[in-house]
Amino acid sequence: MGTITVGKENSTSIDLYYEDHGAGTPVVLIHGWPLSGAAWEKQTAALLKAGHRVITYDRRGFGRSSKPAVGYDYDTFAGDLDVVLKTLDLRDVALVGFSMGTGEVTRYIGKYGTDRVRKAVLIGTLGPYLVKASDNIEGVDPSVFEGLKGAIRADRAATVFDFLKNFYNYDVNGGKLVSDRVLEDNWNVAAGASAIGTLQCVDAWVEDFRKDTAKNTVPTLIIHGDADRILPPDATSRRQAKMIKHVKFAEIAGGPHGLCWTHADRVNAELVPFVA
């Protein structure tokens, strides 16, 4: 629908593809790895029906946005989001992030404050701090992320396909809550993403969001599936919910990581009233 320039790399601009639909109070939807803004299909329809202005954009390196070789860290991602909000002059915004997109929401609040933000929603969150450390014993061993990067380098196409099967708990939900065609469509988006960006984003996942989370003073909704294999709730949402003052935590029984598709009705039943 349009592009917003967020930077430059050598002779070319870095442009984010975005879509801007509807009227009313604005909701900005920020997608997960390795997909695009199109992954919000079922939430966009519900929010438009409820009378919101809905903005989706593709993160740099993914979907129809530019695919630079630089800028795959959360300070840059939050800066890109800041440019989007300022360019479209969005105020009183509900920021909604899914998975990797929760990092943009959290870092944006930590770095730029809440002047433009009315509410925040974190779905399948990766916060507060994924990697195991002496002061973060609940985290995941760093070798897991190194192993994933090695697999991406060896065979990115096969690795993201396996990731997407775990994304939906396909062995349980395939043919029931998610079809082969959805998996194929997601893979096509993932395969078309920047190879450099797909790899470098893994390092962004292990950034520490604890200080950013402490600066979140807006009403916040956290939605997470209790069957999430990608970002298990014990290491993520259950911890982050305890760190936010004005929080509502909705855990969806049987929900995989990709619950915005498999459990869209349950997600929308929480999301739509919250951002109203």
| Catalytic site residue from 65, 99, 194, 237 | 99
Residue 177, helix vs strand vs coil? coil
From CA 275, how far away is CA 204, in angstroms rounded?
Answer: 28
Q: Is 99 a catalytic residue?
A: yes
Q: Is 257 a catalytic residue?
A: yes
From CA 67, how far away is CA 159, in angstroms rounded?
Answer: 20
Neighbours of 112 (CB within 10 A): 17
From CA 215, how far away is CA 78, in angstroms rounded?
Answer: 15
Q: Is 228 a catalytic residue?
A: yes
| Catalytic site residue from 224, 228, 237, 263 | 228
| Catalytic site residue from 31, 52, 224, 257 | 257
User: What residues are annotated to the active site?
Assistant: 99, 228, 257
